[in-house]
Structure 1
């Protein structure tokens, strides 16, 4: 769940400006062919493009990493802060930094559409598909000032498969709820990387239980926890015991209870399908990343199709239609998330867990149309809550 710095190549700078350039400068480390927002987006919005949406949200999350690094290295606007470079080209501004009051570290940010900056470039209103606000959450930084709090939350997830006891969970949830209440849930997006992806998925789920459905994009979410492993073992043991019981004849009872259970199961599936149509988080997975690869473990048959990238919550009709197609082809039930797997990308662990792969031009993704065993377990309480509504 750690964020590592890119390798620095030994080069001889030609100018003093080049000598002072940081490896995290947007024009050095950022995407090569990603256009900034212009008036042309009013005619044909780039935000409707799935690749563009994925890449920009990844850039916003990188900006949050740099917010914390700017704080640690005492950089501000006058001394060359790096973080604003990662959202200003897209006409967004920092509305709120999410700060852990215990150590002063920045773990997230609320970025909002910058109307003033847009007007300066002759963009009178927000392009179609562009969110009004994005809540971006970073992952673990292996640096002394924030190491303790970051690793504590890593261990919390590892032990309990939940981040609800964290101070940062409460802060992220409050910020996301406030943004959704002020701007409308359909205009708000939450995204995170690594540990931040775990927070994003769980705060999105918490709001979905309240009937507030926000767009959710999570990159390399953690998939390894002791609690989930024990839960999976218990479920496997329960299934085996159920099979043993089915072999033992039972006399003196009626089969009405079993038929009622079957009927209830069928009704639950339809409620689950409704839930999936209402909240469909987007997961970005690299199977060479040992931290997130277990999301690719399917509960039933898996099919993959070529994909251009992630999709937006405001235009998720294709994703819902794809989920319906899977249900019709024996995929084992409703699809619980739109999961995109890197079919061509970094293969070494540190690079495979890195955020930069998700704004790279050469990454190739496949949509995994499967019933993920892990995400199904994580969101099961959400289905139950929505089934009762």
Structure 2
């Protein structure tokens, strides 16, 4: 009996040592200079700091990656890696999102843990801290998940849409549920890589319903065949306009050219906003996702392309106009040239030496992706009574 007890204790010690030494343990690879919420947050909330928010949301997404890793490695509650990535910020896991095709975990709902907060004398939720966060992971290149992850990657590559995936439906239902429960202003959605693609599209789907959920998208995918074909068409159209401009002019051809140029200009976000009325302006004001991209990451770098050469003057106006509507808040890593795996990695976004620049121009790709929100009138928001 004594030997059996000793063996159990020895196994527990080994499990703890493995967790402590694991490269993905929170205390090993997590953020270094981010304190857990404490009573000081009642006076000056850390959640008002954009760097803090970026760090926490990226950690929540890392937790989802590790939830799936814990599942694949059959880890128990005693040696699981994922929990510390949300517990450190006083949140708790309330729902895991499962892909029914392979049983993998691709997302999680994390909610403010009032009990854990009270234990550290945090009597109320700090200002700016969301009541619930939907976090969505990207692709994991390991046997159990690679097939379905790549299937959705190819879906986006082919169609620039993820609506046909079972994950889209599950994620949308989860986000809508917590938004209705707590109020959309108290809920956030965050994703990395493929997960950022899902986060963008489920966030946009709710925005069409009049529910505006704060979104944080890390290394969102920007490369697709649909986009490439569209760009080829745009280049061909531009070349044709240049050719026509070289032809002998007449009053009739000049009128046609001017008309074509006016139609082409409406493709930019800055031109079609005024044409769509008050409801669409309200939509833009209420839903502006936050994008975090790295120019060395060829998967997401297309988001840094501006609305077009004709928008250079508009970019100058952006710096001095508070009324300028933008499609997204675009934060660009400014470290210089990096290797792809480093540039696409999630850990860069909670790094202590992160160097970001906020882009002042509108993203051409984001403008196009959100255009459907404002081309047709959004649904009227329904009156809901969020839980306190």
Give the TM bin, normalised by the shorter chain: 0.7 to 0.9
TM-score (structure 1 length as normaliser): 0.82
Match of 1:382 among 351, 359, 373: 373
- In the alignment, is residue 55 of structure 1 matched against residue 62 of structure 2? no
Q: Distance in 2 between matches of 1:159 and 1:266?
A: 28
Q: Distance in 2 between matches of 1:213 and 1:63?
A: 25
Aligned 8 A contact 1:345 1:364 in 2 = no
Alignment correspondent of 2:318: 326
- In the alignment, is residue 356 of structure 1 matched against residue 364 of structure 2? no
Q: Distance in 2 between matches of 1:211 and 1:324?
A: 32
Aligned 8 A contact 1:295 1:375 in 2 = yes
Question: Cα distance 1:275–1:249, how it changes in 2: closer, same or farther (>3 A)?
Answer: farther
- Is the partner of 1:62 in helix, strand or coil? helix
Equivalences for residues 7-156 of structure 1 within 5 A: 18=17, 21-78=21-78, 80-156=79-155
- In the alignment, is residue 169 of structure 1 matched against residue 168 of structure 2? yes
Q: Distance in 2 between matches of 1:43 and 1:293?
A: 39
- Is the partner of 1:140 in helix, strand or coil? coil
1:233-255 superposed Cα distances (whole Å, 9 cap, x missing partner): 22333344456667664759x99
Match of 1:298 among 306, 331, 342: 306
Question: Cα distance 1:207–1:366, how it changes in 2: closer, same or farther (>3 A)?
Answer: same
- Is the partner of 2:95 in helix, strand or coil? strand
Question: Cα distance 1:231–1:288, how it changes in 2: closer, same or farther (>3 A)?
Answer: same
Q: Distance in 1 between matches of 2:76 and 2:100?
A: 20
Aligned length: 353
Q: CA deviation at 1:379?
A: 1.1
Q: Distance in 2 between matches of 1:266 and 1:118?
A: 43
TM-score (structure 2 length as normaliser): 0.82
- Is the partner of 1:218 in helix, strand or coil? strand
Q: CA deviation at 1:117?
A: 1.3
Q: CA deviation at 1:231?
A: 1.3
1:121-170 superposed Cα distances (whole Å, 9 cap, x missing partner): 22222100000000000000001011110000000001111101000011
- Is the partner of 1:379 in helix, strand or coil? helix
- Is the partner of 2:376 in helix, strand or coil? helix
1:288-335 superposed Cα distances (whole Å, 9 cap, x missing partner): 1111111111124789xxxxxxxxxxxxxxxxxxx9961867x9x742
In our comparison, the structure showing a higher alpha carbon Rg is 2
Q: Distance in 1 between matches of 2:273 and 2:250?
A: 25
Alignment correspondent of 1:218: 217
Aligned 8 A contact 2:63 2:86 in 1 = yes
Q: CA deviation at 1:75?
A: 1.1
- In the alignment, is residue 280 of structure 1 matched against residue 271 of structure 2? no
Alignment correspondent of 1:368: 359
Aligned 8 A contact 1:141 1:147 in 2 = yes
Aligned 8 A contact 2:276 2:375 in 1 = no
Q: Distance in 2 between matches of 1:232 and 1:221?
A: 19
Question: Cα distance 1:120–1:387, how it changes in 2: closer, same or farther (>3 A)?
Answer: closer
Alignment correspondent of 1:10: none
Aligned 8 A contact 1:346 1:357 in 2 = no
